[in-house]
Amino acid sequence: MIIGLTGGIASGKSTVSSFCKERGLPVIDADLIAREVVEPDEDAYNEIVKTFGEDILQHDGTIDRQALGRLVFANEEKRQKLNAIVHPAVRKRMKERLNDYLQRGMETVILDVPLLIESQLTELVDKVLLVYVDQHVQLERLQKRDGFGIEEATQRVESQMPLAEKRALADEVIVNHGTKEETKKQLETILTKWKVK
């Protein structure tokens, strides 16, 4: 079974995916792959520099993620341009990793993809598991974790489909308002229901 783990920025996906890893389940993390495919020897890196200019580079030539983030989350057209460069490469590498795991005989694989629903990647998965929080909790946790002000945090949250809408498209929902322990219990209940070993 291929499980698509999704949510919104700072909703708690990494928290849930680390519980899955602790339990021995293989997790493919789209955020990590999105970092790999923009390293300096990759095609997407050259496209990004061509599109956004050298101002988004650090002294060592790697992409300054803070600077690029400030640009794209303040401008929808720029965010779409970045998506058009990065997403095909992420999709390709995710499929390769998934095939590797399946060939090695894994019965369950978790795809941790923040934009699973927005990017129509649900076709890759058998079940969609959503990590949900109310928007005020999401904004508070995002500001606390990344040190953003309310304006920057709001821009990032609003660049994604509202979690309330994603809820209707998920097979199961973990509500991540309580303690991390309570979240872990919800995950266990769902995995048991899905007969994941």
Ligand X SMILES: Nc1ncnc2c1ncn2[C@@H]1O[C@H](COP(=O)(O)OP(=O)(O)OP(=O)(O)O)[C@@H](O)[C@H]1O
The binding site for ligand X (CB under 6 A) comprises 7, 9-15, 31, 114, 141, 145, 176, 179-180, 183
Verify binding: residue 144, ligand COD, rule CB under 6 A.
no
Enter the DSSP assignment of 25.
Answer: -
In this structure, the dihedral spanned by the alpha carbons of residues 31, 148, 142 and 120, taken in order and rounded to 10 degrees, is: -40
Question: Shortest approach of ligand X to residue 85 CB, angstroms?
Answer: 20
In the chain, how long is the greatest CA-to-CA distance? 50
Out of ligand COD, ligand X, none, what residue 12 binds, judged by CB under 5 to 8 A for its kind, is ligand X
Q: Is 6 annotated as a binding residue?
A: no
Out of ligand COD, ligand X, none, what residue 141 binds, judged by CB under 5 to 8 A for its kind, is ligand X
- CB distance 13 to 176 below 8 Å: no
Verify binding: residue 142, ligand COD, rule CB under 6 A.
no
How far apart are the C-alpha atoms of 55 and 64, rounded to whole Å? 9
Of 30, 44, 111, 174, the residue at the interface with ligand COD (CB under 6 A) is 30
Verify binding: residue 34, ligand COD, rule CB under 6 A.
yes
Axis-axis angle for helices 65-73, 76-103 (nearest 10):
120
Residue with tokens 């990647």: 121
Verify binding: residue 187, ligand COD, rule CB under 6 A.
no
Q: List binding-site positions for ATP.
A: 10-15
